[in-house]
Amino acid sequence: MALTAGTTDCDYPGSANGVFVTSVDQNSQIRVSAGEMSLDPVFSPDGTALVFVDFSDPTAKLIRYDIATRNRTVFRRGSETDNFYHLLDWK
């Protein structure tokens, strides 16, 4: 199960959030995000990775997290004119 812990209020610079992967029995939890302004985790269809939005820098980033290797990869950065991402699903 992937979840965001913290609040996602409209305050700025924002409340401390984090993306975690938690076992269904809640005995194991891994922090996936490096920063505190990360949210909206979505699993890949095969369950081997997840993507989340990170707002820890002035420009938003989409980050892919590989569950097996625990590697994070930034695969898209926002710009001054396009700086907001909200993940709904993985295709």
pLDDT tops 60 at residue 3: no
pLDDT tens, 45-84? 999 999 998 888 878 889 999 999 999 999 888 877 776 7
Rounded Cα–Cα distance for residues 11 and 29 (Å) = 27
Tens of pLDDT, residue by residue over 23-39, are 888 888 888 998 778 88
**pTM (2 d.p.):** 0.76
What gap in Å lies between CA 13 and CA 28, rounded to an integer? 30
